[in-house]
Amino acid sequence: MPFIDTDIEGLKVFEPKVWGDERGYFYESYNYNTFKSAGIDAQFVQDNQARSVFGVLRGLHYQVPPFAQAKLVRVIEGEVLDVVVDIREDSPTYGKTYSILLSAENKKQLFVPRGFAHGYVVLSETAEFFYKCDNFYSKESEGSILYNDPTLNIDWKINLDEAILSEKDKINSLFGEHRKS
């Protein structure tokens, strides 16, 4: 199976089989049957893509029910540190963080179930970030957690004084004070 379970229930790393030769490479980035056989039965309804420069830090964002979203995230160009936080209050790993290097070179993808805050920081000169969502975006249902929350103590792998943030991400809620519904 091309899936690696993490120590957080439902959070899986997907490492696709890549065929390459002198012409380049080919791989199947998503196949419903492959994902379903791994226990991922998400019906993706929306694709999003973002281009950013080194140091751009986006997150930690999430959607509350009824617009909570599962995501399948990957990098098409460049390299990012992808970070998630389990915000499922009934989970034994509530408040636990997980980070992974996603890049165009390693072609790894991360399946993020509903109930997680998500963010990433660009580690290369530029990066193209792509993700599938199993629910539609709703501005009224968005929530966010402060990227440098001292309780979470996330190592973003860059000097945070150099991070490029949106005005909104500079004033997100602390973990534990974040929106729950």
Residue from 61, 98, 137, 178 carrying the catalytic annotation: 61
Largest CA distance in the chain: 53
Distance CA 7, CA 100 (A): 13
Whole-number Å distance between alpha carbons of 62 and 39: 22
Question: Does 61 qualify as catalytic in the annotation?
Answer: yes
Q: Cα(64)–Cα(139) distance, rounded to whole angstroms? A: 10
Of 62, 98, 120, 131, which is the active-site residue? 131
For residue 136, how many other CB atoms are within 10 A of its CB?
A: 11
Q: Which residues of 71-86 are buried (b: 16+ CB within 10 A; e: fewer)?
A: bbbbbeebbbbbbbbb
- Are 2 and 16 in contact, with CB atoms under 8 Å apart? yes
Instruction: Count CA atoms within 13 Å of residue 47 on its CB side.
Output: 5
Question: Is 131 part of the annotated catalytic residue set?
Answer: yes
Query: Which of the residues are catalytic?
Result: 61, 131
